[in-house]
């Protein structure tokens, strides 16, 4: 009996203590929630050194990079560090056959050579305010979702009107904890961000798709930009007259490196996580949605890969598309594996049992939350077929570029009578030109055949458009259907699409009525809009409402635990320790990799594992400057920081807040951290800052950039 009670105690308390390094914490709450724990893990600074609205703090060196990645200021002249894969678009846009920055890298030798990037911006967070009370005023829990949302929106607009800010600042409000909390962000956005440097892809994306999401890793995934401001140091649109931005704070760079066990934190803009789902939802991700999406991408990638292997031009054309499709494809596979290995569903069920147990013991909780979990799990059962139909619709149609072209022309058509049309048309011509450059009709046709087969055969017939069924029946096989469709459709004629867009867009708009590809697209999207989306949205609203209650309930029922909100692309701090891990198969992984490892992976001429001549020379001559330790150049390391997509480019900081690394990925076994973080195997991957400096200084000869930085040598 005693043993049982003890066991029960251990099992229950296991849920409640803050799991070792889990969490993406709000910077403005570190002082009240996390400071002690961070210091106990080794942090030597205070929460107010990280976030303070009255003095320069670390947060003033962190930016959202273009809204999809993170960057950090590393000199008092606005020099900015982010990942190679975050800056890739800019690198690609400036590349030509003669000046191939993707292949050869790029280094501005002076500020005059730094390259402007239309549309690229960085956003600083000035301050964060809790506006929950104001936003939720007059919105009781039991309202329908849409009624609640309109009150929330109205209140939020009012708050945004009231907020005190400068004319060059912006503000927005975001929901946290599934709508239980609202925070207002005052921000400053700089639109003149210039490319300063990038290594060749053979360094910045070394190992490409094979090594992606994997450890041990040897990628120098970094690029550098510079923020420019108006003469008053305030945000300004691009102008040659603009000057390098003078930051409130720039990060100092530690040359001392990290040892196993050292405290580290990652400061950035994680995009999206779902850590508080009920068991049924996790089970569905694992067993239904992820597998469906993996299968669909698997088929699309196989077609593209086949062509890329045989055709040099296609390899370049499809490189970025392939990387994009395969990134999530690979991640989902790791996610399923990780959820399986960590018994995520079981863990959720136990958690739900503990939750229910506490709720049942307390009449007030019982009245409020007694039915919550069965209802929520029940709704997930109901949404299952609809969510699968959504995945099939989105995943298959988005891989067919012919469909993309039709949808773009449809969207443009709706703007035809509007004042914005001329501008929209001009933008569309630019967009389409770039898009068609990276499109091969031959490849797309085969992707179409593969996708339509999945769309038609793998789904319940109720979710397949009648038009698609009929069209298929005419041919009885997908390849023949594809041949005929692509031969006839004007939207599958690259030259014609572009020419008509420029000279006679009305012809394209008219073709929308008669063209078979257009009719197919319309029928497929109408079926989705009419038969799937309405019920899906209705169920999703009901789920959102219950999930909000469940989130609130978890915080009340387990009130001894500190909760962090799911990622939502707002500024967060994750912290943990540098450490290796043991994979579920029993393999032990070290926490560091070195340049020797790059050379071990080196395959001359290989698409993924070639090593630039200059780097091989530096290695041979051991010309490592100040960047080696005991004759070895550190390349990447891992730690237990809880990160996700969007954290790419985030600084990894040491106990003093010095920059030691640049976050860019996670290890394969731990990619399920978005749903079920597990401290035993979840690790984020960072490039060692000394590898970055070694490449900048020794490889690229851009030592003037290193001179701009503040290098420090903290004693260990
Ligand atoms: N897996 C990382 C992330 O999710 C890196 C992706 C870029 N690298 C690549 N080989 N595709 O974004
Ligand atoms: N590679 C991701 C990014 O681009 C980071 C991650 O998912 O760990 O943001």
Shortest-distance atom of ligand 2 to CA 86? 4
Substitution candidate for ligand 2 out of 87, 333, 666, 687 with most atoms within 8 A of CB: 666
pLDDT at 662: 98
Catalytic residue list contains 85: yes
User: Which residue's entry shows tokens 């038609």?
Assistant: 456
Q: CA-CA distance, 563 to 180, in Å (whole number)?
A: 12
Ligand closest to 68 (CA) is 2
User: pLDDT at position 15, please?
Assistant: 46
* Cα–Cα distance, 198 to 125 (Å, whole number): 26
Find residue 106's DSSP bridge partners: 198
Is the bond preceding 170 in cis, omega lying within 30 degrees of 0? no
User: Which domains, ranges and CATH numbers included, belong to the chain?
Assistant: 21-121+191-274+566-712 (2.40.10.120), 279-556 (no CATH)
Question: Which atom of ligand 2 lies nearest, measured to the CA of 647?
Answer: 9
18: pLDDT strictly greater than 80 = no
Query: Could you report the per-residue pLDDT of 535-587, keeping only the tens digit for each?
Result: 999 999 999 999 999 999 999 999 999 999 999 999 999 999 999 999 999 99
Mean local confidence (pLDDT), 413-417: 94
CB-CB contact of 281 with 348 (8 Å): no
85 CA distance to ligand 1 centroid (A)? 7
Can you tell me the distance from the alpha carbon of 276 to that of 23, in angstroms, rounded to the nearest whole number? 12
> In testing the pocket of ligand 2, which one of 326, 664, 669, 684 has its CB within 8 Å of the most ligand atoms?
664
* Distance in angstroms (rounded) separating the CA atoms of residues 347 and 673: 14
Mutate to test the pocket of ligand 2, among 665, 666, 686 (most ligand atoms within 8 A of CB): 665
CA distance 527 to 539: 18
308 contacts: CB under 8 Å, gap ≥ 6:
314, 315, 318, 319, 322
State how far the Cα of 69 lies from the Cα of 493, in Å rounded to an integer: 35
List pLDDT tens digits, range 587-625.
999 999 999 999 999 999 988 999 999 999 999 999 999
Q: List pLDDT tens digits, range 400-413.
A: 999 999 999 999 99
Q: How far is the CA of 334 from the centre of ligand 2 (A)?
A: 14
The residue behind tokens 């800052």 is 689
Distance 121 CA to ligand 2 centre (A): 19
Backbone angles phi, psi at 638, to 5 degrees: -125, 155
Whether ligand 2 lies within 6 angstroms of the CB of 647 is answered as: yes
Nearest atom in ligand 2 to 68's CA: 9
DSSP state of 55: S
pLDDT attached to residue 20: 63
CA distances from 304 to 300, 449, 450, 515, 642 (A): 6, 13, 11, 26, 33
- How remote is the CA of residue 198 from the centroid of ligand 2, in Å? 19
Cα of 683 from ligand 1 centre, angstroms: 15
For 249-293, how does the pLDDT look when each residue is reduced to its tens digit (9 = 90+)? 999 999 999 999 999 999 999 999 999 999 999 999 999 999 999
- Select from 266, 171, 188, 200 the least CA-distant residue to 229: 188
Q: Which atom of ligand 1 lies at the shortest distance from residue 207's CA?
A: 10
Q: For a pocket test of ligand 2, which of 82, 221, 333, 648 has the largest count of ligand atoms closer than 8 A to its C-beta?
A: 648
Is residue 211 part of the annotated active site? The answer reads: no
Closest Cα to atom 5 of ligand 2: 645
Q: Whose CA is nearest to atom 2 of ligand 2?
A: 645
Q: How far is the C-alpha of 20 from the C-alpha of 640, rounded, in Å?
A: 9
- The pLDDT confidence band at residue 6, using thresholds 50, 70 and 90, is very low
Residue 370: how many other CB atoms lie within 10 Å: 14
Q: Which of 127-141, 185-199, 309-323, 462-476 has the lowest mean pLDDT?
A: 309-323
Q: Give the model's confidence band at 92: pLDDT under 50 very low, under 70 low, under 90 confident, else very high.
A: confident
Ligand index nearest the alpha carbon of residue 205? 1
- CA–CA gap between residue 331 and residue 671 (Å, rounded): 6
Q: Looking at the CA of residue 684, tell me the nearest atom of ligand 2.
A: 8
CA-nearest residue, atom 11 of ligand 1: 323
Query: Would the CB of 148 count as within 6 Å of ligand 2?
Result: no
Digit-coded pLDDT (tens) for 426-438 = 999 999 998 999 9
Q: Tell me the CA–centroid distance for residue 428 and ligand 1, in Å.
A: 28
From the CA of 331, give the closest atom in ligand 2: 7
Find the ligand nearest to 86 CA. Answer: 2
How far apart are the CA of 207 and the centre of ligand 1, in A? 11
Question: Does the pLDDT at position 8 exceed 50?
Answer: no
The answer to whether the beta carbons of residues 202 and 611 sit under 8 Å apart is yes
Mutate to test the pocket of ligand 1, among 266, 271, 319, 327 (most ligand atoms within 8 A of CB): 327
3-state secondary structure of 248: coil
C-alpha 388 – ligand 1 centre gap (Å): 26
User: Of residues 52, 178, 221, 444, which has the active-site annotation?
Assistant: 221
- Distance between alpha carbon 329 and the CA centroid of its chain, in Å? 14
Selecting among 223, 254, 648, 673, the annotated active-site residue is 648
Ligand 2 centroid–CA 641 distance in Å is 13
Number of residues that this document lists for the chain: 716
pLDDT tens per residue, range 209-259: 999 999 999 999 999 999 999 999 999 999 999 999 999 999 999 999 999
- Distance, CA of 201 to CA of 203 (rounded, Å): 5
Q: How far is the CA of 205 from the centre of ligand 1 (A)?
A: 9
Task: Average the pLDDT over 305-311 and give the result.
Answer: 90
pTM: 0.93
Beta partners for residue 651, in sequence order: 662
Neighbour count for residue 97 (Cβ, 10 Å): 6
Cα 27 to Cα 30: distance, rounded to the nearest angstrom: 5
pLDDT at 9 over 70: no
* Atom of ligand 2 minimally distant from the CA of 69: 9
Q: Which ligand is nearest to the CA of 217?
A: 1
- Rounded to the nearest integer, the mean pLDDT of the chain is 95
Distance CA 563, CA 491 (A): 51
In a mutational test of the pocket of ligand 1, which residue from 212, 297, 332 has the highest number of ligand atoms less than 8 Å from its CB? 212
Catalytic residue among 85, 252, 262, 525: 85
Burial class (CB in 10 A: 0-12, 13-18, 19+), 496: middle
Ligand nearest to the CA of 646: 2
Above pLDDT 70, what percent of the chain? 97
Residue 140 CA to ligand 1 centre (angstroms): 42
519 touches 376 (CB < 8 A): no
Ligand 1 site: residues with CB under 6 angstroms? 85, 205, 208-209, 212-213, 323, 327, 645, 648, 664-665
Is 27 touching ligand 2 by the criterion CB < 6 Å?
A: no
The minimum-distance atom of ligand 2 relative to the CA of 327 is 1
Q: Which DSSP helix (H) or strand (E) runs through 128?
A: strand 122-130
Q: What confidence tier does 11 reach under pLDDT thresholds 50, 70, 90?
A: very low
Taking the CA of 273 as reference, the closest ligand is 2
Residue 5 clears pLDDT 60, i.e. is over it: no
Res 317: pLDDT: 85
User: How far apart are the C-alpha atoms of 675 and 343, rounded to whole Å?
Assistant: 12
Q: Per-residue pLDDT for 37 more than 60?
A: yes
User: Rounded to an integer, what distance in angstroms lies between the CA atom of residue 691 and that of residue 618?
Assistant: 13
Whether 648 sits among the annotated catalytic residues: the reply is yes
State the distance from the centre of ligand 1 to the C-alpha of 273, rounded, in angstroms.
17
Q: Which atom of ligand 2 is nearest to the CA of 83?
A: 4
């Amino acid at each position: 009996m005693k043993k049982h009670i003890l066991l029960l105690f251990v099992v229950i308390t296991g849920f409640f203590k803050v799991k070792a390094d889990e969490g993406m914490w709000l910077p403005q709450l570190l002082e009240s929630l996390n400071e002690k724990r961070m210091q106990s893990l080794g942090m030597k600074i205070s929460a107010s050194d990280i976030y303070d609205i009255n003095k320069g703090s670390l947060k003033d060196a962190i930016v959202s990079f273009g809204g999809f990645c993170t960057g950090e200021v590393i000199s008092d002249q606005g020099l900015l560090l982010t990942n190679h894969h975050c800056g890739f678009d800019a690198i690609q846009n400036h590349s030509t056959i003669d000046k191939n920055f993707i292949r050869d890298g790029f280094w501005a030798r002076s500020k005059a050579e730094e390259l402007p990037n239309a549309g690229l911006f960085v956003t600083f967070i000035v301050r964060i305010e809790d506006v929950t009370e104001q936003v939720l005023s007059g919105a009781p829990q039991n309202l329908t979702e849409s009624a609640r949302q309109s009150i929330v929106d109205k209140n939020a607009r009012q708050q945004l009107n009231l907020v005190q800010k400068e004319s060059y600042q912006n503000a927005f409000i975001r929901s946290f904890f599934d709508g239980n909390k609202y925070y207002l962000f005052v921000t400053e956005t700089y639109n003149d961000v210039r490319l300063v440097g990038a290594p060749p892809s053979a360094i910045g994306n070394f190992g490409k798709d094979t090594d992606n999401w994997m450890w041990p890793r040897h990628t120098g995934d970094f690029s550098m930009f510079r923020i420019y401001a108006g003469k008053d140091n305030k945000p300004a649109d691009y102008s040659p007259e603009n000057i390098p931005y003078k930051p409130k704070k720039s990060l100092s760079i530690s040359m001392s490196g990290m040892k196993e066990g050292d405290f580290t934190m990652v400061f950035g803009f994680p995009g999206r996580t779902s850590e508080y789902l009920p068991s049924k939802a996790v089970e569905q991700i694992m067993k239904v949605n992820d597998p469906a999406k993996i299968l669909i991408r698997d088929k699309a990638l196989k077609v593209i890969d086949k062509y890329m292997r045989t055709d040099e031009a296609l390899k370049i054309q499809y490189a970025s598309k392939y990387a994009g499709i395969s990134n999530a494809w690979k991640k989902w596979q790791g996610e399923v594996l990780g959820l399986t290995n960590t018994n995520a569903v079981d863990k959720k069920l136990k958690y739900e049992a503990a939750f229910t147990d506490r709720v049942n013991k307390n009449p007030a909780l019982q009245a409020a939350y007694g039915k919550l979990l069965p209802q929520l799990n029940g709704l997930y059962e109901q949404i299952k077929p609809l969510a699968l139909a959504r995945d099939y619709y989105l995943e298959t149609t988005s891989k067919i570029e012919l469909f993309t072209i039709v949808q773009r022309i449809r969207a443009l058509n709706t703007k035809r009578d509007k004042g914005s049309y001329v501008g929209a048309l001009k933008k569309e011509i630019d967009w389409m030109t770039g898009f068609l450059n990276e499109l091969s009709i031959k490849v797309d046709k085969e992707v179409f055949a593969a996708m339509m087969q999945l769309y038609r055969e793998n789904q319940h017939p109720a979710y397949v458009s009648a038009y698609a069924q009929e069209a298929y029946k005419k041919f009885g096989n997908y390849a023949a259907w594809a041949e005929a469709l692509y031969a006839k459709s004007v939207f599958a004629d690259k030259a014609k699409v572009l020419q008509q867009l420029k000279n006679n867009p009305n012809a394209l708009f008219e073709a929308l009525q008669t063209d078979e590809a257009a009719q197919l697209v319309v029928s497929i999207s109408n079926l989705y809009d009419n038969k799937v989306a309405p019920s899906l949205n209705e169920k999703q609203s009901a789920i959102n409402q219950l999930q909000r209650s469940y989130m609130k309930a978890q915080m009340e029922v387990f009130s001894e635990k500190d909760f962090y909100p799911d990622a939502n692309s707002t500024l967060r701090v994750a912290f943990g320790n540098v450490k290796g891990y043991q994979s579920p198969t029993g393999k032990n992984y070290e926490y560091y990799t070195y340049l020797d490892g790059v050379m071990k992976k080196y395959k001359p001429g290989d698409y993924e594992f070639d090593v630039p001549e200059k780097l091989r020379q530096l290695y041979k001559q051991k010309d490592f400057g100040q960047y080696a330790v005991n004759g070895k150049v550190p390349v990447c390391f891992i730690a237990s920081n809880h990160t996700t997509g969007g954290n790419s480019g985030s600084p990894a900081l040491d106990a003093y807040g010095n920059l030691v690394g640049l976050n860019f990925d996670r290890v394969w076994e731990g990619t399920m951290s978005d749903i079920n973080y597990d401290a035993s195997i979840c690790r984020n991957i960072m490039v060692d800052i000394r590898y970055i400096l070694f490449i900048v200084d020794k490889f690229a000869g851009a030592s003037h950039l290193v001179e701009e930085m503040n290098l420090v040598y903290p004693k260990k």
